[in-house]
Homo-oligomer: A and B are copies of this chain.
Amino acid sequence: MSHTPHSVDVALRWSDMDAYGHVNNVQYLRLLEDARIVAVADWLGEGDRLLKAGLIVSRHEIEYLAALTFRHAPVRVDIWPTRVTAASFDLAYEVRDPAEVGEQLYARAESTLVAYDLEAARPRRLSAHERARLQDLAGEPVAFRWRPR
């Protein structure tokens, strides 16, 4: 199973740093949020509709590999779907320097997104189109250091 991750550059904000002078661990999830919105919109075409009306985060997992300090260069978030089921899918992420900036990897993460019918207020099934598209893009799960797969 091969894949080409979607790469989304996300601008840092000075306020992402906390009192230690590093990008705060919680803010990494904010960076993932914006990368995810861009990537899912690109993948599913109907992305705006889907994001506004039908995906909720049911799980996050993240490990931190290096400290990140505010700079004007963005971070690059590589993002790809992994496991796709009838009603949910996992996303893998790697937060790194853009190639023109460096080679540092800052974090790896994984989220589970659940398809949701906002009007009916209950989980829904992914459409055949959504599932096919995600499976087409799917790659290996992210390799966390701490957890054997």
Binding site for B on A (CB under 8 A): 10-11, 13-15, 17-21, 24-26, 29-30, 33-34, 37-38, 56-64, 70, 72, 112, 146
Contact = CB atoms under 8 A, between A and B. Distances in A.
A11 B11 contact: yes
Contacts of A60: 25, 60-62
Given A57-B25, A60-B25, A146-B59, A15 B33 contact: yes
A59 B56 CA distance: 22
Nearest to A11: B11
Nearest to A32: B26
Contacts of A10: 11
B26 A30 contact: yes
A14 B26 contact: no
Contacts of A62: 59-61
A63 B72 contact: no
A23 B20 CA distance: 13
Contacts of A29: 25-26, 29
A10 to B, nearest CB: 8
Given A18-B19, A19-B70, 12 more contacts: A13-B30, A13-B33, A14-B18, A14-B19, A15-B34, A25-B57, A25-B60, A26-B26, A26-B33, A58-B63, A58-B64, A61-B61
